[in-house]
Structure 1
Amino acid sequence: MAVSKDIDGSASVPAFYGKELRWKREAAGLTLQQAVAGSFYGVSYLSEIERGQRRMPMDLARHVDGLLETDGFFARRCEDVRKARKSLFAPYFQDALEMENSAQDRVEWTPMLIPGPLQLEPYIREIIHTFNPQDDEAQVERKIAARRSRAWVFEEPEGPASWVVLHESILRNPVVPDQIMAEQLEHVAAVARRRHYVPQILPWNAGAHPFMMGSTLFMTFGDAPPVMYTEGMYSGQLIDEPGIVEQYQQAYNRLRAAALPPKTSLKMIEDAAEDFANGTHARRLERRDLAHEQLQHRPGRTLRRGR
């Protein structure tokens, strides 16, 4: 029989709640299958609650209270856990966050920022200070910890298969000082080199293309239809209507076709990291822009981007 991986109950309120649920269930000698019998929920759903990755629905909380004879404990604490999750992540991201934990595949487009699960602490701190300057240091630290808690999506082998398209402006227009950007991009490249996700860079001169506004995330599942999540600066929307999701998926395929190949994209990220580290980033861009301008104005020549 496989040994259950221990849960760190100190990590968060949901983790503490889930660990207590697992302890009560195992103390009663019940398997996950036996615990969900008679409810409307599956084994994987309850398992994710025990690991602190999903919030407990009230009807399921009442079900386990009756089964485990816990005098209404899980139903009473259900709302506390929901509020704790909302304090760590934006309310509009809650449903997408829970789905991310069970996604088999995820594809993502980020036009201006490195994806959240790939961000390191200095980069996260700069973004928080820019978007939420009113946050005090304690709030900033909690948000940093919450965002880094999603690093497993890209950095761990058990994370979902991922494909990410980044706009070249991320490499050209850093939002943090050069040395921090160098460290951040080297991290992005290192995770890609471990084959934990596939990167593609959309060139700055690619012209009109799908998804020119806002970031987009697609997720597919083994036992449910695919969904799409799109986010602006202070809002987000989860879309699960099949016809609309299909339209967006087709548009994303066109976006990937317009982007550079993965190997070329990874080399660009590595070169940018080296340039930021050496202080040569600005000079490289000036040389490239000058060469591009000269080629555009050469008589009888039409600029074409190679595949």
Structure 2
Amino acid sequence: MANGSRQAAWEFFGTELKRRREEAGFTQAELGSRVFVSGGYIGQFEQAIRKPQLDVAQRIDGLLQTDGFFERLWRKLIKEERYAEYFTHAAELERLATEICEYAPAVVPGLLQTPEYARAIYLASNPLAADEYIEEMVRLRMDRTLLLKDATRPVYWAILHETALRVPVGGPASMATQLDHIAQMMRERKTLVQVLPFSAGAHREMGKMMKLMDFEDAPPTVYTEAVFSGNLLDDPVVVKRAQASYDLLRAAALSPEASLALIESVAEDYRRCASTT
């Protein structure tokens, strides 16, 4: 669903909410108090400024006796709105790429994440979200990881800053599982992974995530991300500079063999820590 039609669908959600609320004789404040949000939030739902969480849509259905209408519509829209708007195009290009080279300065890249790791990331970002929302986001993240298990998978080369190995996302057991998964992907030759160690010191791009993608019949692109925003760039000059930066990162990183040894060692440290807690 294109962004314009998706927004129109959320506007339909809001219009129906307003119509059925008024038919039931509730003000925005009255409906809000009964479904445990503010009247202002109800107004923002109706104007398609904000999107309700699943449990709110379910409570609205119950109160307005709409036979699951808003829950079904919510599920359809959220399912079709698979990724944040700024990442949607990049996610589509991942599936078309013949080669993906990624640098992750602090967090394990999505294509390498385990369900436990992804769940911890989403919970940290959405501490008040309903379980259904978190699980749906985890499922979508895991759908992306299937790309590296397909027979026609792209060449995938990831450089992880050692920070991504050392930050205990989800706790020691979760990290042990996550690093074991990366090590297994490396041993099965489904991905190339290098670690940029703390000992490498400062680097121009050390704090900036970067994803380079090559295609069979299209120019290469580079995707970078900031807070709630992303940039997908195909200017040849910019892409060439990004490729040069990636080459410098690759030269400063540990070899794949040394990287695998470090990943397995850190995983074992987490395992020992988990067994004593």
1:270 Cα deviation from its structure 2 partner: 1.0
8 Å CA contact 2:101–2:156 kept in 1: the answer is yes
Q: Give the partner amino acid of 1:111.
A: P
Deviation per CA, 1:117-144, whole angstroms, max 9, x where unpaired?
2111111111011112232111111100
1:112 Cα deviation from its structure 2 partner: 0.7
Q: Give the partner amino acid of 1:113.
A: V
Match of 2:180 among 183, 186, 191: 186
Alignment pair present for 1:106 and 2:97: no
Aligned to 1:247: 241
Q: Give the partner amino acid of 1:182.
A: A
Aligned to 1:24: none
Aligned to 1:43: none
1:224 Cα deviation from its structure 2 partner: 0.6
Aligned to 2:160: 166
1:231 Cα deviation from its structure 2 partner: 1.3
Aligned to 2:40: none
8 Å CA contact 1:155–1:191 kept in 2: the answer is no
The alignment's C-alpha RMSD in Å is 2.1
For structure 1, the 5+ residue unaligned runs are 1-81, 282-307
| Separation in 2, partners of 1:94, 1:190 | 28
Aligned to 1:260: 254
Q: Give the partner amino acid of 2:188.
A: R
Deviation per CA, 1:186-208, whole angstroms, max 9, x where unpaired?
01110111101111000112122
8 Å CA contact 1:178–1:276 kept in 2: the answer is yes
| Separation in 2, partners of 1:257, 1:85 | 41
Aligned to 1:237: 231
User: Secondary structure in 2 aligned to 1:149?
Assistant: helix
8 Å CA contact 2:172–2:274 kept in 1: the answer is no
Q: Give the partner amino acid of 1:106.
A: I
Q: Give the 3 Å change call, closer, same or farther, for CA 85–250 of structure 1 in structure 2.
A: farther
For structure 2, the 5+ residue unaligned runs are 1-75
194-203 vs 134-143, which deviates more?
134-143
Q: Give the 3 Å change call, closer, same or farther, for CA 278–230 of structure 1 in structure 2.
A: same
Aligned to 2:148: 154
Aligned to 2:218: 224
| Separation in 2, partners of 1:183, 1:238 | 32
Q: Give the partner amino acid of 1:237.
A: N
1:267 Cα deviation from its structure 2 partner: 0.9
Match of 2:206 among 196, 201, 212: 212
8 Å CA contact 1:210–1:252 kept in 2: the answer is no
Alignment pair present for 1:131 and 2:125: yes
Deviation per CA, 1:265-298, whole angstroms, max 9, x where unpaired?
01111111112112299xxxxxxxxxxxxxxxxx
Q: Give the 3 Å change call, closer, same or farther, for CA 86–205 of structure 1 in structure 2.
A: farther
Figure out how many residues of one structure are paired with residues of the other and give that number: 201
